[in-house]
A and B are shown apart, each in its own frame.
Chain A
């Protein structure tokens, strides 16, 4: 079974430029998560989707970040414009659903973003 797929793996941009990350979850996983991980820290949730619906985006900086999961499968996270402080690893994860064993989340390889 294929795992969570993310692209690109690495991205270097200059500040104020836009950037987009793509994620394809494990087949059959209805719940998709975008996390941000800074060096030496655990992942922090940015947004969670149940199928097409964003059910938790309270930690997403909506002035510059946006996300979509139009058909309830793959998802795109965008930053526009990027700032120096956005340099981090952006992780996508998926799970079957909510609660108990269904909440076991599996991570993709991540996208390492460097903003110059």
Chain B
């Protein structure tokens, strides 16, 4: 079982719609959660971090965390063609694993104008 799982996509949404990206993780004691955006040929860029259950909003982005269900999601409101990228979910499984980040394989998002 992969430690961090994401649907590879591609997820296609029309411009202006809400894009919903999902991620599940296997280690129940995971402490912190991150979303990175990666454009083709570029390196990952941190866009959101979340540490507590519930929602965290930053501009058009909302991260949602449900530790009981071991589930974290990223919502992108008013999607723009410039949001087209691969979105990587990363999980810090905690001190037991040296606080390293474990990444999913990413979900490809395509926003069509």
Q: Which residues in A have some Cβ–Cβ distance to B below 8 Å?
A: 33, 40-45, 48, 55-56, 89, 91, 98-101, 103-110
Contact = CB atoms under 8 A, between A and B. Distances in A.
Contacts, number: 61
Given A103-B32, A107-B44, A43 B103 contact: yes
B43 A110 contact: yes
B46 A98 contact: no
| Of listed A42, A56, A106, A109, residue having the most chain B CB within 10 A | A42
A99 B49 contact: no
The 4 residue pairs across chains A and B that have the minimum distance between CB atoms? A42-B103, A107-B43, A98-B99, A56-B98
B44 A100 contact: no
Contacts of B42: 109
Contacts of A105: 34, 46, 90, 101
Given A45-B100, A100-B51, A101-B49, 10 more contacts: A40-B8, A42-B103, A55-B98, A56-B98, A99-B92, A103-B92, A105-B34, A105-B46, A105-B101, A106-B46
Interface string B85-111: 000101010010011110111100000
Contact of B44 (A40, A43, A56, A101): A43
Nearest to B34: A104
A71 B95 CA distance: 25
Given A42-B88, A104-B34, A99 B99 contact: yes
Contacts of A33: 100
| Of listed B8, B43, B44, B100, residue having the most chain A CB within 10 A | B43
B80 interface: no
B45 interface: yes
